[in-house]
Structure formats: C-alpha cells, structure tokens
Amino acid sequence: MAFERLELLSEHGCFGGVQRFYKHASRETGLPMRFGLFLPPQALGGKSVPVLTFLAGLTCTEETFAIKAGAQRTAAQLGLALLTPDTSPRGAGVDSEDHHWDFGVGAGFYLDATRAPWSGHWRMESYLLQELLPAVVSEFNVDGARLGLFGHSMGGHGALTLALRHPGVFRSVSAFSPICAPAQCPWGRKAFTGYLGQDASTWGDHDACLLMALQPTAPYPLGILVDQGLADKYLVEQLHPEAFEAACAQAGQPLTLRRHEGYDHGYYFIASFVDDHLRHHAQALTD
C-alpha cells in the first residue's frame, strides 16, 4: 500500500539520520494529513529498522515531539525509526475543530467517530492502523513486523487503547501521563459524547482500564511502561493512573508505573525520561 500524493515538506540531517516531515492525501479522513518521520543512520545505510510511533497530545502537531522531546539521538543509537502523526484531521470546516475542547471534541482522540458531524473525517484509528502505518512500511526502509507504540496525555490514551484493541500489531507499548480512564474523566466524557454519542456502553471500547480488565491473559508479557509526574495539574481529575494500575494487576499484566516528584504534564517531563522509553521499546523491537 503506497501513499497517495506524498509530498516532502522539509528534511533535516539529525544525529547521522534524517528528520523529515510529509503531507499526503488521506483516503480514511478525506483530508490532507501530515506526519513526521525520523530515519536513523542504519535505515539510510540500507538496513530495515523497527518503527516506534508516538501519538501526541492535545494542541500538538506532527512536529511537537520531533522538536521538543530530544529523542533522535538515542533513536539513532538504537536504530529506531520514529513516526509522529498529526493528532487529528484539519481543515474540515467543522465548528470548534481548531478550538479543541470548546464542545469536548476537535482533537482526534485516536478513535473513529460514529456521530455527525465528526464521523465524516474523524477516523484516526483507521487512519493510523489501516493507512499510515501500512504506507510507511511500504514506502520506507522499515520493518512492519517490529512496531512499537507510545504517546503522551491524549496520545498516551491512544497508545494504550490501540495497543489493546489490535493484538499482535504492536510488540511494545508505553505512555507518558496517559488519560487512563477516559470514561471516568471530564476530558474523556466530553470527547466520547461528541464522537460516539450519549450511550456510555459504547465508550468502553476506547477506555484503557476497561479494555485491560477484559484481557484473559497479559497482552504484553514483556511489560508496559508508564511515567507520571506528581506535579501534573491534570493528575487527579483527568488521568487516573491508579485505575490502570489496578486493571493491569487484575489481568496479570506486568506494569512499571513510575511516579516522579516535581514533574508536570509538559515536554520537559517527556524529555527527561524519553530515553528510558526508547530503550524499553528497543528491548522488544531489536532482534
């Protein structure tokens, strides 16, 4: 599967590899989509490398993680490609799409909306799984059998839920400050109501805690890594890592949940611990 009208927007040499940003026409969203791709020196030298996809949080773009996290140095050393999709469709002309949470919707939340007006373009789950990842594997020198997934905040929610909803696709998963129980928090309830409707029985398909509680065996026996800052202003009301910790214990899923004094919800926190996440994924992805 190849991209439709893939356009290279910019290219930057980076730690012996290359950081690129692309734009393409998406059949799943019906709109132009953008993504970033870091190819390590091993890929430029002809070796097929693992792909680690990072799902960003609210208000971010395909550039945010690439610019702010400082992940390319260690990714180059470990031989990991880094894929950074945009968080949501843009330019659909739907009210509040650029204001995100005015009505609880706008940012993609990494699901396929079923409720108008969002259902026409807000298909981020299908975009990622059915379009972007297969096209990246087809187009670039990367290994589709060695995929990892991680993310931050809304993207941490996406990483956990997509990894659980698509068993066998990803070898490894981790998250920074994820929205662990969206069906129980204001952000999640607003987004789910907007995208999926009032029937809360449909929300569990996109809630990491509820999905984990349904697992008959540990889906990621090598472990899941979650980092959470204790100075995060969203911790108590929105994130609920303790609920995910309990769900993992119930399912027998190994979880490393690290709580860090003095760290907030932003990219200084991510940059402080991103190398640990890259090494966590490399253990599962590099043979």
153 classed as catalytic: yes
- In whole angstroms, what is the distance from residue 107 CA to residue 226 CA? 22
Q: Whose structure tokens read 């096209």?
A: 135
Region of 249 (left: φ > 0; alpha: ψ -120 to 50; beta: rest) is alpha
Do the Cβ atoms of 89 and 108 come closer than 8 Å?
yes
Q: Distance from CA of residue 159 to its chain's centroid?
A: 4
265 classed as catalytic: yes
Per annotation, catalytic residue among 121, 152, 232, 240? 232
Give the three-state DSSP class for 29: coil
- In whole angstroms, what is the distance from residue 35 CA to residue 30 CA? 16
Phi, psi of 19 (to 5 degrees): -100, 120
Per annotation, catalytic residue among 88, 153, 172, 177? 153
Give the three-state DSSP class for 253: coil
- In whole angstroms, what is the distance from residue 64 CA to residue 57 CA? 9
Per annotation, catalytic residue among 265, 277, 280, 281? 265
Dmax over Cα atoms in the chain, in whole Å? 52
Nearest Cα neighbor of 272 from 215, 228, 222 is 228
Q: Distance from CA of residue 278 to its chain's centroid?
A: 14
98 classed as catalytic: no
Show which residues are catalytic. 153, 232, 265
